[in-house]
């Protein structure tokens, strides 16, 4: 089974600490380290790129595209969808897609919200994405977390009434509840044996795994060298296990088949889901 490898291309201080900070050169360096890993494994993924980063460092966007990866939008400013509201969301979407398409000459088909901020209060975003010609969204975490996530939506890929395909983050069901696996902090902090078991379990359910990562996760020294103050707890949790991520990626890409979201959609078509679109999206 082909699983999806997805990368949210952004700069940690600007995306996670303060949206007013400048995008730093470090994000370019980290993205190149990640590209090198994928080159070694001859694997393509989908890179959801932040508009601000594309604007400041268009050359790295060209490098990603030249390596044959799919280009998607991660919005423009990294502000949460439910905070900026429908009008600013549409503006950010058009601006980021326009930038990426101008730089690469490649049509942008997919979108991922900053911090998975398509939640029950911002489901209108799914209609705006369809209206603006996007083919898929990969922003919903199908489990309720502290800051994001929606309960009671499917764990597999589905097509909404408005034509948009939703590609939810991966979860497995254990002890009667859903657990996030295979992305970001979950991929960094859970033992590899558990992640491996989770991917196998998803395969047995015929659900492709959606792995998501950020370039900064392969940068073990960023949080000790950063020039802005970082709260101690953030420093510990956000920096933990970064030095293991490159090795973990090597194992994952050797043991399982990975590709871009576009490639996964060709192999595992999403199922139509009219009930969700009428009950959840309308609400
Ligand atoms: Zn992000």
Cα(87) to ligand 1 centroid in Å equals 20
Question: What are the domain boundaries of the chain?
Answer: 2-281
Residues 119-140 have pLDDT tens digits of 999 999 999 999 999 999 999 9
Strand partners, 257: 2
Superfamily of domain 2-281, CATH level 4: Glycoside hydrolase/deacetylase (3.20.20.370)
Any idea of the CA torsion for 257, 263, 268, 269, to the nearest 10 degrees? 170
Three-state SS for 130?
helix
Cα(191) to ligand 1 centroid in Å equals 23
237: confidence class by pLDDT, cuts 50, 70, 90: confident
278: confidence class by pLDDT, cuts 50, 70, 90: very low
Quick check: 279 pLDDT over 70?
no
Residues 20-78 have pLDDT tens digits of 999 999 999 999 999 999 999 999 999 999 999 999 999 999 999 999 999 999 999 99
User: What DSSP string runs through 137-168?
Assistant: E----SS--SSS--TTS-SS-EE-TTS-EE-P
Cα(76) to ligand 1 centroid in Å equals 10
Cα(92) to ligand 1 centroid in Å equals 14
- Nearest-angstrom CA–CA distance, 2 and 4: 7
Question: The tokens 């690469």 sit on which residue?
Answer: 104
Pair 21, 223: CB distance under 8 Å:
no
- Nearest-angstrom CA–CA distance, 36 and 276: 40
**Of residues 23, 96, 37, the one with CA closest to residue 69:** 37
Q: What is the pLDDT, as a whole number, of residue 281?
A: 40
Cα(202) to ligand 1 centroid in Å equals 24
């Amino acid at each position: 089974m082909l699983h999806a490898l997805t990368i949210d291309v952004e700069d940690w201080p600007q995306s996670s600490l303060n949206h007013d900070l400048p995008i730093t050169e470090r994000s370019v360096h980290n993205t190149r380290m990640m590209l090198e890993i994928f080159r070694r494994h001859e694997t393509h993924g989908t890179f959801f790129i932040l508009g601000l980063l594309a604007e400041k460092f268009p050359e790295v966007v060209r490098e990603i595209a030249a390596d044959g990866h799919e280009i998607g939008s991660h919005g423009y400013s990294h502000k949460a969808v439910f905070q900026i509201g429908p009008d600013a969301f549409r503006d950010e979407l058009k601006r980021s897609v326009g930038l990426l398409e101008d730089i690469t000459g490649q049509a942008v088909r997919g979108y991922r919200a900053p911090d998975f901020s398509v939640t029950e209060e911002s489901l209108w975003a799914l209609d705006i994405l369809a209206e603006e010609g996007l083919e898929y969204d990969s922003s919903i975490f199908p489990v309720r977390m502290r800051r994001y996530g929606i309960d009671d939506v499917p764990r597999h890929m589905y097509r909404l009434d408005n034509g948009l395909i939703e590609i939810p983050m991966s979860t497995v069901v254990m002890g009667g509840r859903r657990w996030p696996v295979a992305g970001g902090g979950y991929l960094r902090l859970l033992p590899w044996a558990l992640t491996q078991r989770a991917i196998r379990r998803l395969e047995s359910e015929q659900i492709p795994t959606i792995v998501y990562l950020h370039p900064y996760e392969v940068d073990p020294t960023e949080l000790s060298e950063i020039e802005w103050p970082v709260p101690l707890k953030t420093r510990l949790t956000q920096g933990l296990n970064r030095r293991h991520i490159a090795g973990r990626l090597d194992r994952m890409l050797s043991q399982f088949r990975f590709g871009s979201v576009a490639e996964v959609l060709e192999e595992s078509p999403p199922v139509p889901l009219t009930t969700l679109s009428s009950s959840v999206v309308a609400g």
